[in-house]
Amino acid sequence: MRRRAGDRFWLTSLVRVFGLQAAAMWVMSLPLMIGISDADRGWSALWVIGAVVFLIGFGFEAIGDWQLTRFKADPANAGKLMDRGLWRYSRHPNYFGDATAWWGIGLVAASTPIGIVGLIAPAMITWILVKVSGVPMVEHRMKKHRPGYDEYIQQTSSFRPRRPRHL
């Protein structure tokens, strides 16, 4: 980018790097801003559902990350495929948990009068995780470096947890 932009690199980087990140962060923070702006309204059924969905997602992400960290810390697992615990039901339980947590935040925001706008953020984050940077990048790397990954793909859901298929 620096080479192509030449003397205008400062402007190109301002718009392409920092401008896009700022716009994305603004969209992603919408449910938080909306939810906080109307915090004195009290709890509604949708607020409680959103909080429960957030906790489920947060727990799923934390447990998935913890299981993977423990798996990687064991030298006996070097080069092996993590397919136990939550990883038995989803190839990306941490990404699923992250997206679910954001949907919970979005539901909390949706409990406010203009909160439906806040659902843009979890939709965007889910799309990014499933189609852009999360799942596709990891899947590409894992297919190259982990023996048995193709069979794991056939047996295990990519994102949403479900019972494994038996081949």
Q: Which two tokens stand for residue 88?
A: 């038995």
pLDDT in tens, 14-66: 887 788 888 888 887 888 777 777 666 777 898 899 999 999 999 999 999 99
Q: Which residue has the higher pLDDT, 70 or 150?
A: 70
At 104 the pLDDT is 94
**Which residues fall within 8 angstroms of residue 9, CB to CB, at 6 or more apart?**
1, 2
At 24 the pLDDT is 80
Are 122 and 99 a contacting pair, CB within 8 Å? Answer: yes
This prediction's pTM: 0.80
End-to-end CA distance of the chain: 47
At 167 the pLDDT is 58
